[in-house]
Every structure is written in structure tokens, then in C-alpha cells.
């Protein structure tokens, strides 16, 4: 029993240094995702729009990005293209969390560099598992 608790504590502590940048324009969705991931031990910085995206990446140095595709100031697909044009950002996994539910939307996002794609409303435990898997790949 104590070994399980210690293992869970160590896992949680190792996540605390993991940084996630969340770009979501909906205030409620942004707050819920940010709070949930913070509770899970991640350091989360959130943006309501993408205008400060590149300066935020430079300052925050995220290890993973959660991206909504429908943003008020830029199309999420355009942002994905811009990210791919920056060699220093190419290794940061991007998980799209969007209301766009069509297969074509998913395929386009994946073609532009997204690693995973979730349609809202999302299953938080499944998202957490996918985040953990992406971050584990970075550690290898």
C-alpha cells in the first residue's frame, strides 16, 4: 500500500515540472481545462487568443500545446502552419481540442502537425492519458 502511494506521489511530482500551453478562447473551457490540468500537477499557462502565442512560447517554454482551432484572432489551422515553419517548435507536441467534428478537420489538423485530435466535449481522463503518453515520448 505504501509503495503504491509513494509511486503515485513520485509520478505527480515528476509532472509538476511539465509545462502545458493552452490556447482556448472560451473562458469556461479554458478555466476548466487549466484547473483540471493544474490539479493533475501540470504547470499550465493559458491564452484566450493566439496574438501572444510566439512570445508566450519563448517565455514559458511549453513541453506540450493544447490548441483550439476556432480562435477570435487567427484560424487554428494557420497557427499550426506557422508553428511548423519554426524549427525550434517542431518538437513540441500539439493536441487539438476543437468543436470541429468532421473527419476532414481532423485530417487537416494532423497533416499540419497536430499529434492528436479531440472533439469537444472531451473526456478529461482520456485527454490526460494522451498528454501523459505524448510527454513520455519526449522523455525517451
Q: Decide if 121 is inside a domain.
A: yes
62 in Cβ contact with 91 (< 8 Å): no
Q: Decide if 4 is inside a domain.
A: no
pLDDT score for 4: 53
Q: Decide if 79 is inside a domain.
A: yes
Q: How far apart are CA 79 and CA 50, in angstroms?
A: 8
- Mean pLDDT in order along the chain per 10 residues (140 residues): 51 68 97 97 97 95 97 95 92 96 97 97 97 91
- pTM, two decimals, is 0.88
* DSSP for the chain, written as a single string: -HHHHHHHHHHHHHHTT-EEEEE---HHHHHHHHHHHHHTT-EEEEESSSTTHHHHHHHH--SEEEE-SB-SSSBHHHHHHHHHT-GGGTTS-EEEEES--SHHHHHHHHHTT-SEEEESSP-HHHHHHHHHHHHHHHH-
pLDDT score for 11: 54
pLDDT score for 140: 74
pLDDT score for 17: 79
Q: Decide if 67 is inside a domain.
A: yes
The verdict on whether omega for the bond into residue 121 sits within 30 degrees of 0, i.e. cis, is yes
Q: How many domains does the chain have?
A: 1
pLDDT score for 90: 86
Q: Decide if 90 is inside a domain.
A: yes
Domain that holds residue 63: 14-139
Q: Decide if 3 is inside a domain.
A: no
Q: How far apart are CA 98 and CA 118, in angstroms?
A: 6
Amino acid at each position: 500500500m505504501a509503495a503504491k502511494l509513494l509511486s503515485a506521489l513520485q509520478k505527480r511530482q515528476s509532472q509538476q515540472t511539465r509545462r502545458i500551453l493552452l490556447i482556448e478562447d472560451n473562458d469556461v473551457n479554458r478555466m476548466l481545462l487549466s484547473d483540471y490540468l493544474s490539479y493533475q500537477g501540470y504547470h499550465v499557462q493559458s491564452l484566450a487568443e493566439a496574438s501572444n502565442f510566439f512570445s508566450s512560447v519563448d517565455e514559458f517554454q511549453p513541453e506540450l500545446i493544447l490548441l483550439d482551432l476556432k480562435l477570435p484572432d487567427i484560424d487554428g489551422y494557420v497557427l499550426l502552419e506557422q508553428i511548423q515553419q519554426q524549427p525550434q517548435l517542431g518538437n513540441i507536441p500539439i493536441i487539438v481540442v476543437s468543436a470541429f467534428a468532421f473527419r476532414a478537420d481532423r485530417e487537416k489538423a494532423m497533416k499540419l502537425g497536430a499529434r492528436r485530435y479531440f472533439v469537444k466535449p472531451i473526456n478529461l481522463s482520456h485527454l490526460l492519458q494522451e498528454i501523459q503518453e505524448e510527454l513520455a515520448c519526449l522523455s525517451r
